[in-house]
Amino acid sequence: MDVEISLRVDGAEHRLVVDTRTSLLDALRERLGNTSPKKGCDHGQCGACTVLLDGRRVNSCLALAVAHQGAQIVTAAGLAQDGALHPMQESFIRHDAFQCGYCTPGQIVSAVGMLDEARAGWPSAVTPDFASSNVSADGGGSGVLVEDEIRERMSGNLCRCAAYANIVPAVKEVAG
Ligand code: FES
C-alpha cells in the first residue's frame, strides 16, 4: 500500500510517496537521491547504511520509512555544515581511515553517534566494563576513550578492507 509521508533529512523536509514496506535506506537512496548511506548487506549486519535517527545510530535498512515521520534523520552528507567538514570527517581524511570508502559514511555517522552517546551517558544495559573510559554510565574513568572501547562500540560497522588500524585512531583523535 502506498502512503504519502514526510521525512526530515539533513535539515530539509521532504514529502514522498512510498510503499509501507519501504525501508528508510531505500527511501533515502532511491526516492530522495541521498546515496550517502550505503547498501551493503541490507540485513542489519554491516552498518554501511548507518544514519542518526533523533541522534541515535540506526541501521536504516532495518527501519521502515513510514515509522519515522517527523524524526530528525542525519546522514554523513548532512554532517558538514556551512561548507566545512565535520571534525570526524576531517579526522578520517587526516588518518587515511579508508581504502575503498564504501563503509566510510556509515563509519563516520556511527562514530559521531557513539561520541554523542558517550557525552549523554551510555545506556547502562549495553555498557560493557571499560574501566579506563571517562564516558561510562557512572561517569567514572580516566578521561580517555580507549581504543578497545571504540572497537567494541563500533563493532556494528564492518570494513571489508580492514582499515580499522586507521579508523580507530581517527575516531580516538576526535574523542580526545
Ligand atoms: Fe544495513 Fe548492512 S546495509 S546493515
Q: Which tops the pLDDT comparison, 119 or 39?
A: 39
**What confidence tens digit (pLDDT) does each residue in 44-103 have?**
999 999 999 999 999 999 999 999 998 999 999 999 999 999 999 999 999 999 999 999
Q: Is the confidence metric ipTM above 0.90 for this complex?
A: yes
* Nearest to 34, CA basis, from 60, 67, 62, 64: 60
Ligand 1 centroid – CA 132 distance (Å): 31
**What confidence tens digit (pLDDT) does each residue in 112-123 have?**
999 999 888 766
Question: Which residues does ligand 1 sit against, CB inside 6 Å?
Answer: 39-42, 44-49, 59, 61
Ligand 1 centroid – CA 43 distance (Å): 5
Q: How many CB atoms lie within 10 A of CB 81?
A: 9
Domains and CATH numbers, the chain: 2-78 (3.10.20.30), 87-175 (1.10.150.120)
- How confident is the model at residue 130, as a pLDDT? 55
Rounded to an integer, what distance in angstroms lies between the CA atom of residue 90 and that of residue 170? 9
Ligand 1 centroid – CA 8 distance (Å): 21
Percent of the chain with pLDDT over 70: 87
